[in-house]
């Protein structure tokens, strides 16, 4: 188990923030978690510790939201998401993170610019090819750096789903993605005793964060939920792009 107190100073807010995102404010918020934890441990170890906690969060998030998910949208997104997980599992050990971060960061920022220009949502909505592309990118980046919320948001936000449906759909989608991510992480040997014991210490925070997000979801207007999602998408894009550029 990790014993450095500085690690827990970053890990506790990281887990709570990720839970709040899962519970009510969108998956893009979760991008903050791994960078926070990586201030003390390696990004790979941070991601490995976080994954079992995410699976626990998913249980509570799905329990809250599964009735409101748009399963037609999920049906379009799941094949690409699983393909992305497969590709990430095959190439995670050899694919440089810098290029992936630059790509996702740049696309996220581009989508935020389009939103600021107030184009019609119908003009931005993607078809079947878009569903495969963004879902695959989401599954890949989620597996590599737990940052799948950005690509998923790029596909989902222009659909202008009701705020409850939007959050519910993302909750169910990433619950399935995270379960499948356990396979490549286990095959890469990331679930050692140290990482699993540390995850067990932090896991009680999972439902706390999720229910904090649920509480906020039902007390914030739909327009503000979308604004927050775009803000988090912008923050995610800046963070990913900067990290990718600095590590080139």
List, for residues 28-79, the tens digit of each pLDDT value: 667 778 778 877 887 778 889 999 999 999 998 898 889 999 999 999 999 9
- Residue 154 CB contacts under 8 Å (≥ 6 apart), including other chains: 107, 108, 111, 134, 233
Domain count of the chain?
Answer: 1
DSSP assignment letter at 23: I
* Cα-based angle 85, 86, 92 (whole degrees, multiple of 5): 80
- pLDDT of 27 higher than 70: no
CA dihedral over 13, 16, 19, 24, signed as positive or negative: negative
DSSP assignment letter at 76: H
Domain boundaries, position 112 = 5-246
**Least confidently predicted of 39-43, 60-64, 99-103, 147-151:** 99-103
Round the average pLDDT of the chain to a whole number and report it. Answer: 84
Determine what percent of the chain is predicted with pLDDT higher than 70: 92
Task: Look at 25 and 63; give whichever has higher pLDDT.
Answer: 63
Residues 174-196: what's their mean pLDDT?
Answer: 94
- Residue 152 CB contacts under 8 Å (≥ 6 apart), including other chains: 27, 77, 134, 135, 138, 170, 173, 174
């Amino acid at each position: 188990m990790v014993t450095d107190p500085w690690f827990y100073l970053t890990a506790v807010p990281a887990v709570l923030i990720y839970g709040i995102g899962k519970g009510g404010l969108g998956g893009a918020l979760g991008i903050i978690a791994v960078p926070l934890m990586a201030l003390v441990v390696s990004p790979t170890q941070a991601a490995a510790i976080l994954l079992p906690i995410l699976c626990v969060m998913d249980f509570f998030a799905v329990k809250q939201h599964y009735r409101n998910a748009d399963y037609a949208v999920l049906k379009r997104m799941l094949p690409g998401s699983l393909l992305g997980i497969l590709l990430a599992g095959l190439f995670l050990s050899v694919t440089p993170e810098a290029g992936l971060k630059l790509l996702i960061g740049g696309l996220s920022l581009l989508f935020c610019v389009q939103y600021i220009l107030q184009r019609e949502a119908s003009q931005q909505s993607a078809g079947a090819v878009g569903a495969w592309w963004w879902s695959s990118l989401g599954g890949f980046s989620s597996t590599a750096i737990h940052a799948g919320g950005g690509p998923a948001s790029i596909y989902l936000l222009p659909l202008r789903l009701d705020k409850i449906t939007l959050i519910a759909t993302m909750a169910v989608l990433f619950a399935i993605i995270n379960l499948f991510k356990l396979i490549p992480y286990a095959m890469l040997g990331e679930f050692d005793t140290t990482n699993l014991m540390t995850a067990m210490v932090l896991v009680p925070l999972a439902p706390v964060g999720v229910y904090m997000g649920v509480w906020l979801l039902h007390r914030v207007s739909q327009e503000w939920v979308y604004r927050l999602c775009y803000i988090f998408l912008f923050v995610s894009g800046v963070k990913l792009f900067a990290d990718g550029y600095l590590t080139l």
